[in-house]
A and B are shown apart, each in its own frame.
Chain A
């Protein structure tokens, strides 16, 4: 193989950049989609429940009941919604979603506590959003048990006994202490955007040359196939890298999410995956007869399984065993897992080497098939 001509590669890449710059539709996809998705996932599509509007039906109206209520409203999970006067209003208020939950304190709240008998406090929750309802329920239990604990200790102290707790739970959450979904989603978003940019745009751009017959003209020119392929894919490699780091920067800027692990490992893993993804785009371009078919195939094999089966949105552990088995052949799964290890946990290769092996196998298979297909196409 004779050496490659850098000038020819450069002129192809330059032409590609010019065409991308001219193509408003693609530009929109490259620039606005990542930003839009980051904002969507960061702000709108968060799984975190916050400031749930709480209605309060306080039938006791004592110092104890007010203290109990304040335990709710001073957290960031609940916000004071309104005071409910009659139990009969609950139906209407929840129905119209004026409040999301209603705390019902019985008239004998203080009396029962002082008498040492159980007081039955009720919470009514709008269950239409299951995730939200579950979280409200668990916050409610947590706050109530804290209140119980404190109350019991005070009771014991008053009776001159030791302030003693058999068990004290102090939860500490590692890696993502604020339990922010946005942070967890950054790696998934990178995988998604990489698939979209590298696979779809590469496939479509090559098929476009086939459709417009410029590919034929290029093949008749003395350009070597390797020069042509590198010249055409390098712009998409660069754009994809910019998009990946753009997401990381934006996530840091908007949510304060930083990369916990090694930037070098991060870069190498991203690069490895991109090579496979560009190869996949090339492979699709050898099969697809026109741009719309190329787009469909690319979307079907890259973006769709990445969203559904890589663990981006639905955790792999909770999938049906059959789907779990399928996810083993989704390259996005390995990339995503490795990214989460590096970005969120700051883990080294000892943690994510199985994912690295998965990625290497993916890249090797894709490049192998692509090579054979391209040779068939050229000769």
Chain B
């Protein structure tokens, strides 16, 4: 770990027969970083995590996780990492306290450390009155925090969170992300997968995987700037369905898409948003009997970035 990376992946590939689940993926994650790993279901996200956690060996390529090679020392890797998934909700039919003891003992946390960490976990989550109750009686948000606590009992260097906020209410989701921030601040590397692309904004760096390939890598800001060199504007038009097919005829527009009740338009390279351009849009639409209610430039979301990249890939294929 002399290079300061917690995770260092080189040409990682996994094939199941003729099907390639992960195709030549390389990237690295710095110590203490929050890294978001994004991609639709079936894109190779889970397979990558399974390899990094030592559950599955790669067909070719390698990765170093917490300083250990996943091919040579998968057992060492397992002692250095924590793992929590959305679907993992502890054992529901034993008590909170018994769950903590169970997972702590599995990770060989010494009895005195376990006692201390258990007390602080229970205090942090305000579970003093709940510790001898069945885990299934806990509300969803608390249960998920408890699951994270159990996955952190052995103080791992890296925590893998697989869709951690799925099925959790928005307030709990926000709280959960502040816990993730705290973990990162205390030096734990957080590797998180999510398909809520808005959550990826909380990450310092993100990697996007699509059809087994890594299609983008970098900070959210850098990804936005590199992907959209052109200005994007949001238009509120009287008839958005009609407008979206007309707007590309405007001389300054490269492409347009519908976004809820609004229309998004990407301007041609070199053209930026100005009152003159806005006036030309208004006139252009009025000549087609449409009313422009408002228009303003938008900062593209990571979702826009992702959709744009996928579009380009499918265009490239066609």
Contacts and interface: CB of A to CB of B under 8 A. Distances in A.
Interface in B281-318: none
A370 to B, nearest CB: 20
A19 interface: yes
A15 B57 CA distance: 30
Contact-residue bracket for chain A: 20 to 34
Given A219-B55, A220-B78, A213 B85 contact: yes
B57 A221 contact: no
A365 interface: no
B118 to A, nearest CB: 14
Contacts of B55: 216, 219-220
Contacts of B79: 222
A223 B75 CA distance: 9
Interface string B87-115: 11111111000100111011110000000
B106 A221 contact: yes
A310 to B, nearest CB: 34
Nearest to A5: B108
Interface string A345-371: 000000000000000000000000000
B66 to A, nearest CB: 13
Interface string A4-22: 0101100110010011001
A15 B91 contact: yes
A11 B102 contact: yes
A357 to B, nearest CB: 39
A35 B79 CA distance: 46
A12 B91 CA distance: 12
Contacts of A8: 105-106, 108
A218 B90 CA distance: 11
A23 interface: yes
Contacts of A19: 91, 93-94
A208 B195 CA distance: 27
Contacts of B90: 214
Contacts of A213: 85, 87-89
A222 B108 contact: yes
Contacts of B35: none
B105 A379 contact: no
Contact of B105 (A7, A212, A220): A7
Interface residues of B, number: 28
A222 B91 contact: no
Interface string A111-147: 0000000000000000000000000000000000000
Interface string A242-264: 00000000000000000000000
Nearest to B80: A222
A214 B88 contact: yes
A218 B55 CA distance: 11
Contacts of B53: 220
B56 interface: yes
B210 interface: no
A159 interface: no
Contacts of B108: 5, 7-8, 222
A3 interface: no
Given A11-B106, A213-B87, A217-B88, A222 B94 contact: no
Contacts of A220: 53-55, 78, 81, 83
B94 A379 contact: no
Interface string A309-329: 000000000000000000000
Interface in B238-275: none
Interface string B51-68: 001111100000000000
A8 B79 CA distance: 14
Given A7-B108, A222-B108, A216 B85 contact: yes
Contacts of A218: 106
A219 B50 CA distance: 10
B99 to A, nearest CB: 9
A155 to B, nearest CB: 80
A19 B136 CA distance: 13
B139 to A, nearest CB: 18
Contacts of A5: 108
A145 to B, nearest CB: 66
The CB with the most chain B CB atoms within 10 A, among A216, A221, A223, A379, is that of: A221
A214 B85 CA distance: 10
Contacts of A214: 88, 90-91
A222 B107 contact: yes
Nearest to A231: B106
A279 to B, nearest CB: 24
Nearest to B111: A7
B158 to A, nearest CB: 12
Given A213-B88, A214-B88, A220-B78, A18 B94 contact: yes
Contacts of B91: 15, 19, 214
Nearest to B104: A11
B102 A15 contact: yes
Interface string A199-221: 00000000000001110111111
Contacts of B134: 22
Contacts of B88: 213-214, 216-217
A18 B97 CA distance: 13
A211 to B, nearest CB: 10
A250 B89 CA distance: 42
6 contacts: A12-B106, A23-B93, A212-B89, A213-B87, A217-B88, A221-B106
Given A11-B102, A19-B94, A221-B103, 8 more contacts: A7-B108, A15-B94, A18-B93, A23-B93, A217-B83, A217-B85, A218-B106, A220-B83
Interface of B: 53-57, 75, 78-79, 81, 83, 85, 87-94, 98, 101-103, 105-108, 134
